Amino acid sequence: MRDAPTTTAGDGGDANGGDRGWFTRPVPGRRAGGSPPGDRGAGPPERPDGPPPERPAVRAAKWVPVRAVAPARAPADRPPADPVRRHYASPEERPAGHPHRPDDHPSRQVGTELPRLPYRASPQGEHQRPAELPPDRPTRPAPPAEPAAAAGQPPSADALLIRRTLTGIEPVADKVTSYFYALLFVRHPDLRALFPAAMDLQRDRLFKALLTAARHADDAPTLTAYLSRLGRGHRKYGTLPTHYPAVGECLIASLTRFAGDSWSEAAEAAWVRVYTAISQIMIDAAAEDEARSPAWWQAEIIGHELRTPDVAVVTVRPDQPYPFLAGQYTSLETPWWPRIWRHYSFSAAPRQDGLLSFHVKAVPAGWVSGALVHRARPGDVLRLGPPTGSMIVDHTTDNGLLCLGGGTGIAPIKALVEDVAEHGRRRPVEVFYGARHDDGLYDIDTMLRLQRSHPWLSVRPVVAEGPTRGLVGQLPHIVRQYGPWNAYDAYLSGPPGMIRSGVDTLKRIGVPLDRIRHDAIDEPRGTPTD
């Protein structure tokens, strides 16, 4: 089992979020495939070599009106309108009785209360793109896998038209993406402030999310779960219902220009119908979430421990109660890289004092990870998005847990062990903790202390090469030497290659796929990949 696909942006290997707000109504009289005069934020729209191919004229998209959604709180209580700083309104300014005031936060009752610090944006120019792009950034998003057809049902006519369009644009996906953003920022320059200064990584994420959602048009449960999560997550960017038509308008224009013979009046109508549904699911999910949860949390760093020269354990105190489950992760933004979010798993189960901890590894050209490891200090204020992820323990069963943690992927595995311990049930937990070299097992002492405290826990360190006190070999290959594992639920966290290899190994030795849990492999993650 894995988490639904996600679109958070990544950089330099320490990925985290960057999906942005979507859709404003089309401007009357504007041709769907027209070329913008230029882009003030992303460069001129990129054109294919030579003149665009001739194709039959199509009518302009007719957008189905999006239902008005009543805000969960009065407009006067919303953060200020400044596009960058509006996210940082103080929770203490919220009216008495507001469900997200921090007064009753457990961490406020422990020790001396620290003064609330403002979120410090970086100096002008400090968040500019480095001279070179991170080497591991894909040049364009990989095409999403085909969704499984509903049980016994053939694909709908809309789904067939959309898949045909996706096939048509695949050879020129980079040009479609560049044109889409150039058009969006020219027609709607006010939306540029919602995106990070460096668009190289972000651009693939949002466009991929749009196409992934459209591809799953016939899979209502998957589509609803995926888009609902995106809608909730987009609140931290300041996305509003009025933004959605703007993205839809520019998406249709981009497809019109580049889809070639796969584009037609019927294809356009199918895309309009699907995107009307997409936007409404996201808008409804955001409105529902607003009634019970803030869009973001501010969190002050109260602990920063270097475990190795490039790995730090960062502990923060959020300004409001932060409910989450062991095994989940969050998106995180630093004051030095505004509007660039990265995902990090919680390294501990929920605590009575409300504190949160993350394991961060600095990678080359990792903007956020490098700042968190080498620059962050106690007193700095970060920003957290909502928790997400489905790699959680099923406490309704007595199945054992088989846990594979590679590198900083040990963080959520440690949280799962603590979660089992807190529930007091003696179920076997087998942890295989892997790293390339012995010095990469930076948290082995913590894991061995847990093993000494809990007789149902077994921890086996594994290194790929070099001298070690533990086992030597590739983590998935070592795991198959033990077992059998057919009575265990499996949890995997680490680099994407390790997860893919681990899933394949577990399937070959008889572990059912529905008992293998990990988060989306194609989603850049601060914890496993850093």
Rounded to 5 degrees, what are φ and ψ at 361?
Answer: -110, 125
Cβ burial 85-115 (10 Å sphere, 16+ → b, else e): eebbeebeebeeeeeebbeebebeeeeeeee
Q: Is residue 511 in some structural domain?
A: yes
Residues 177 and 272 in one domain: yes
What is the token pair recorded at 255? 């497809």
Which ranges of the chain have pLDDT less than 70?
Answer: 1-152, 198-207, 520-530
| Whether the Cβ atoms of residue 493 and residue 404 lie closer than 8 Å to each other | yes
Give the CA distances from residue 166 to residues 41, 103, 359, in Å, rounded to whole numbers and listed in that order: 27, 50, 38
Residues 359 and 464 in one domain: no
Residues 278 and 302 in one domain: no
Residues 283 and 165 in one domain: yes
Q: Is residue 82 in some structural domain?
A: no
Rounded to 5 degrees, what are φ and ψ at 460?
Answer: -120, 110
Give the CA distances from residue 304 to residues 24, 310, 347, 375, in Å, rounded to whole numbers and listed in that order: 43, 12, 14, 10
Q: Is residue 499 in some structural domain?
A: yes
Q: Is residue 251 in some structural domain?
A: yes
How many structural domains is the chain composed of? 3
Q: In what order do the strands lie in the sheet with 516-517?
A: 471-472, 457-463, 429-435, 400-406, 488-493, 516-517
CATH code, 380: 2.40.30.10
CATH code, 447: 3.40.50.80
Q: Is residue 100 in some structural domain?
A: no
Residues 479 and 461 in one domain: yes
Give residues with Cβ within 8 angstroms of 529, minimum separation 6. 13, 14, 15, 363, 495, 496
Q: Is the pTM of this model over 0.85?
A: no
Q: What is the DSSP string of 301-338?
A: EEEEEEEETTEEEEEEEESS-----TT-EEEEE-TTST
Residue 380 belongs to domain spanning: 297-384
Instruction: Dump pLDDT digits (tens) for 120-141.
Output: 333 333 322 222 223 333 333 3
What is the token pair recorded at 100? 């997200």
